[in-house]
Every structure is written in structure tokens, then in C-alpha cells.
């Protein structure tokens, strides 16, 4: 048996900080330790007790750093790595002007492989140990990302974008081709090692009703896959969907009609929802990925986290790279906090950390495998330096509580705060 003890401050959730007072939702050991056995967490507890119980086990000391579950990004687009921070456009023009031309390049396996490696390295540098990722519509783009994740030992969910209208011809498939190519990718990658396939119709405007029907049939035939799409991000988009699907009650109703809702379905954004849509999201148990840096960067609007929590469905945090403006889940939490303030809810640091770990894992139906520092979970662990820059160090130095010590890193931290990343207990390996 391969064993290792990692010591530092440990932070684990015992309950959802949205369900109980946030301070009561966590277990913290200022001098803690995690026992890792064969890539899984075996024990979490006070360092003294674990060191005494396992005197022969190799140790890794992270000092004062905060050991917690690796971040989970519930929604991202790896082919947009190269166009992150593109200026001046709202969603539809941003897609046509920046996104689609770049995604066109991913039929080239060499380019796809290069960006897939870069994307996963940037994720690791930012403590993201699992992402739920859109590829481009080219199957080669999925092969490249899945292979790069497998080579690094990373848990990953990803899928080929299905898109058969309102996009450049070179990016469009057809209902039959989108189905067949996705089915072949499922056969090749889904359930292999730590990889999960995600049926990925981009969003209602770029799929015909026939293609959405095919996507629903594909997911029904492969129910252990996830399903991801975009919902109600901008007002112009919502009006466009109403014109394209006049018989649907609303945007979410389009996805309901084609069997694209329910547990394991992840709706990106979901900002501007009607009362009927909220009720239907609850009824179906559909998950939501909140993408705060994207929502401000593309000018989409203010997500109401308090209302989303009342729906009683999984809600996770996401970068939405490259509509999102950062690979950092710390920066993403900071943006969620700022948006919360603007919509009347001061999210507690424990709630922000939950959304970036267990909440996001729950949206991906991976909440039993990852997302918390708990026995039995896969050992995807990060060590956060809570004094990574002078401004953070001086603010944390005045802290009178754990949360006052952590919050400056959430608000001001970046990849410099990620002192170490361990995936399944190991350092992420670069692809060969
Ligand atoms: N809606 C449809 N496609 C996309 C995308 O790539 N990014 C964002 N932010 N919204 C979308
Ligand atoms: Zn997106």
C-alpha cells in the first residue's frame, strides 16, 4: 500500500454552509494532517494523533498552508484559452468575432494538443483538479483533452460541442453526425480511468430541434454521461431563443422538451429566469454552474445566488474560460462575492469555498468522489498559502478568526496562493 501523510491546516465540510450556519459547516484543524492511501484520503485529523498512529509513513509538511479539496470548475471551454480577455463585445458578437474563428482551429490535432496541455497546466497552477469542459465541435479536440488529462492523472469531464446552425459551416455538424461522433467519443473515453463524457449541445440557438432531439436521445442511451449547455445568459440570447422555438414556454422549456434536464445536466449561467423556469429547475433537479467573471466580463447580468440556493438543486462555481476572465478559482470566488453584494447577499467565505469544491462536484454528480477532504474521497488536495503576497500577508496577519485569515486570499489571491496540488495523491504529471 502506498501511504503518505500531508500536514498543514486542514479544512473539511461536515455540512453545506448554505444549509447550516456557515461556521458550523466546517471541521478545521490548525495543526492537521491527511493520510493518503493509494490515491484516496484515508483519514483527516489532528497532526499529532495521525503522526503517532503512522510513524513510518512518509511525510510532506505544508507548514501553515491550508489543506483542502482541489477546486472543481463546473463549466469551461478549453478551446477559448487563446482568446481569453478579448475586448469589447457582448455574447453573440463575442461568439462570432472571437470564439468561433478560434474554435475552428481545433480540428488540427497538433494545435488541439498544444492548447489542451496549456489549459490543464493553467488549471493545475490555479488548484483546479477537475473541470467540466466544452471542447470544439471537432472530435479531435476531445481526443486531445482527454488524452492530456489521462496523462496527468486528472479527473475530467468533457465533450464535443454539438452545433448545426447559426455558426460557421466549418464548425457545424448535423444531427446524425453530431450523434455518431459523440457516441464514438463516449465509447472511446467515457468511464476510462478518471474521465467522464459530457453530451454537449452548445445552446439552443446553435442546434436545430432535430439536433436537440438527437442530443436527448444520446444522453438517454448513455445516462451515466453528463449533459451540459447554456441557459439564459443574456437578454438578446433569450429573445433569440423565443423566436427560434415559438412553441416553447421559455428557454428552459426548450431543453425540457428534448430530455436535456435533470440530475447530471449542468446549465451554464441561468441568470435571467422566469418563475416557471425556477420551478421547473427544482422539479427536474437540474444543476447550475454560476460563472461570475464571465457574467461581468461579457456584461450578462447579476446571478442571484440566494434565489438559486432556494431551488434546492446543485449549484457550483465555474470559470467559463474564456468568456470568463480568469483561470483562478480564487478570483472567481471574489467575483461571486462581489456579485452577491450587488444582489443583496454577502456570501460567507465557507459558502464560496463550498461552491468552488463540493457544490461544483455535486453539479457533476461527483460529490461522493471529490469535492471534500473526507475519508474515501479521491486525494485531489491543494495547499493554499494564506500569506502569498505582502498585501494578503498583512491583512491575514491581523485576523482574529479562521475566516478573517482565509477571506483576504479569496479576495486578493491568485495562482501564487496555490502552494501545492496533489491529484489522486500525486503531483500532476506533465503529458509525455
Ligand atoms: N453561449 C453559447 N456558447 C457560449 C460560450 O462559448 N461562452 C459563453 N459564455 N456563452 C455561450
Ligand atoms: Zn460557457
CA 240 to ligand 1 centroid distance, Å: 14
Mean pLDDT per segment of 10 residues, for the chain of length 432 residues?
97 98 98 98 98 98 98 99 97 97 98 98 98 98 98 98 98 98 99 98 98 99 99 98 98 99 98 98 98 98 98 98 98 98 96 99 98 98 98 98 98 98 80 44
DSSP helix/strand/coil, 202: coil
Name the closest ligand to CA 295.
1
User: Angle at CA 156, nearest 5°, toward 418 and 427?
Assistant: 40
Ligand 1: lining residues by beta carbon, under 6 Å: 77, 91, 95, 99, 202-203, 230, 233, 294, 298, 320, 323
- Please give the Cα distance from 272 to 352 (Å, whole number): 21
- Please give the Cα distance from 85 to 327 (Å, whole number): 11
- What number does the ligand 1 atom closest to the CA of 233 have? 10
DSSP helix/strand/coil, 311: coil
The H or E element containing residue 45 is strand 40-46
pLDDT attached to residue 428: 73
Give the helix ranges, DSSP H, for 29-163: 47-53, 91-94, 100-103, 109-125, 139-152
Name the closest ligand to CA 297.
1
- Per the CB < 8 A criterion, the answer to whether 241 and 249 are in contact is no
Peptide bond into 205 cis (omega under 30): no
The answer to pTM > 0.95 is yes
Nearest CA to ligand 1 atom 3: 202
Q: Ligand 1: which of 75, 92, 95, 267 to mutate, judged by most atoms within 8 Å of the beta carbon?
A: 95
Please, what's the largest Cα pairwise distance for the chain? 68
- Per the CB < 8 A criterion, the answer to whether 92 and 236 are in contact is yes
* CA nearest neighbour of 34 among 416, 384, 402, 383: 383
Cα 337 versus chain centre, distance: 17
- What number does the ligand 1 atom closest to the CA of 77 have? 6
Query: Strand locations in 179-247, DSSP E?
Result: 195-201, 226-231
pLDDT attached to residue 430: 52
Name the closest ligand to CA 293.
1
- Please give the Cα distance from 43 to 38 (Å, whole number): 12
Does 3-70+372-422 match 71-363 in CATH topology? no
- What number does the ligand 1 atom closest to the CA of 230 have? 1
For the chain, domain boundaries:
3-70+372-422, 71-363
- Per the CB < 8 A criterion, the answer to whether 374 and 12 are in contact is yes
- What number does the ligand 1 atom closest to the CA of 205 have? 2
> CATH for 71-363?
3.20.20.140
Nearest CA to ligand 1 atom 9: 323
- Per the CB < 8 A criterion, the answer to whether 295 and 269 are in contact is yes
Q: Ligand 1: which of 74, 82, 84, 99 to mutate, judged by most atoms within 8 Å of the beta carbon?
A: 99
pLDDT attached to residue 429: 60
pLDDT attached to residue 431: 45
CA 328 to ligand 2 centroid distance, Å: 16
CA 159 to ligand 1 centroid distance, Å: 14
By the 10 Å C-beta count (0-12 exposed, 13-18 middle, 19+ buried), 219 is classed as buried
The H or E element containing residue 176 is helix 175-189
3-70+372-422 CATH pick, 3.40.50.300, 2.30.40.10, 1.10.8.350, 3.40.50.2300: 2.30.40.10
Buried b or exposed e, range 38-55, using 16+ CB within 10 angstroms: ebebbbbbebeebbeebe
Q: Which residues contact 87 (CB under 8 A, 6 or more apart)?
A: none
Amino acid at each position: 500500500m502506498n501511504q503518505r501523510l500531508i500536514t498543514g491546516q486542514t479544512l473539511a465540510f461536515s455540512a453545506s454552509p448554505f444549509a447550516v450556519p456557515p461556521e458550523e459547516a466546517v471541521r478545521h484543524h490548525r495543526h492537521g494532517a491527511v493520510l493518503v492511501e493509494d490515491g484516496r484520503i484515508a483519514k483527516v485529523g489532528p497532526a499529532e494523533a495521525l503522526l503517532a498512529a503512522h510513524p513510518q509513513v512518509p511525510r510532506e509538511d505544508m507548514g501553515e498552508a491550508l489543506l483542502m479539496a482541489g477546486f472543481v470548475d463546473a463549466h469551461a471551454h478549453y478551446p477559448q484559452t487563446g482568446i481569453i480577455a478579448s475586448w469589447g463585445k457582448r455574447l453573440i458578437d463575442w461568439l462570432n468575432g472571437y470564439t468561433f474563428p478560434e474554435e475552428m482551429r481545433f480540428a488540427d490535432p497538433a494545435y488541439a494538443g498544444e492548447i489542451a496541455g496549456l489549459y490543464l497546466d493553467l488549471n493545475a497552477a490555479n488548484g483546479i483538479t477537475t473541470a467540466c469542459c466544452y471542447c470544439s465541435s471537432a472530435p479531435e479536440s476531445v481526443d486531445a483533452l482527454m488524452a492530456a488529462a489521462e496523462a496527468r492523472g486528472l479527473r475530467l469531464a468533457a465533450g464535443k460541442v454539438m452545433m448545426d446552425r447559426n455558426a460557421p459551416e466549418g464548425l457545424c455538424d448535423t444531427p446524425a453526425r453530431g450523434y455518431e461522433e459523440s457516441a464514438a467519443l463516449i465509447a472511446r473515453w467515457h468511464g476510462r480511468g478518471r474521465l467522464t463524457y459530457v453530451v454537449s449541445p452548445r445552446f439552443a440557438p446553435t442546434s436545430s430541434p432535430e439536433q436537440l432531439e438527437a442530443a436527448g436521445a444520446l444522453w438517454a442511451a448513455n445516462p451515466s454521461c453528463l449533459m451540459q449547455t447554456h441557459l439564459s445568459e443574456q437578454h438578446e440570447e433569450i429573445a433569440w431563443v423565443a423566436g427560434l422555438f415559438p412553441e416553447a414556454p421559455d428557454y428552459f422549456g426548450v431543453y425540457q422538451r428534448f430530455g436535456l434536464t435533470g440530475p447530471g445536466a449542468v446549465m451554464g449561467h441561468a441568470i435571467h429566469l422566469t418563475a416557471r423556469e425556477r420551478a421547473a429547475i427544482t422539479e427536474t433537479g437540474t444543476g447550475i454552474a454560476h460563472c461570475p467573471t464571465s457574467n461581468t466580463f461579457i456584461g450578462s447580468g447579476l446571478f442571484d445566488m440566494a434565489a438559486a440556493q432556494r431551488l434546492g438543486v446543485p449549484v457550483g462555481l465555474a470559470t467559463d474560460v474564456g468568456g470568463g476572465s480568469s483561470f483562478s478559482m480564487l478570483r472567481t470566488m471574489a467575483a461571486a462575492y462581489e456579485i452577491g453584494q450587488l444582489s443583496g447577499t454577502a456570501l460567507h467565505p465557507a459558502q464560496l469555498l463550498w461552491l468552488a469544491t463540493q457544490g461544483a462536484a455535486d453539479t457533476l454528480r461527483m460529490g461522493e468522489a471529490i469535492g471534500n477532504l473526507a475519508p474515501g474521497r479521491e486525494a485531489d488536495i491543494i495547499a493554499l498559502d494564506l500569506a502569498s503576497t505582502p498585501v494578503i500577508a498583512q491583512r491575514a496577519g491581523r485576523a482574529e478568526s479562521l475566516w478573517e485569515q482565509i477571506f483576504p486570499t479569496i479576495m486578493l489571491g491568485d495562482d501564487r496562493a496555490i502552494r501545492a496540488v496533489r491529484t489522486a495523491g500525486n503531483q500532476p504529471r506533465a503529458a509525455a
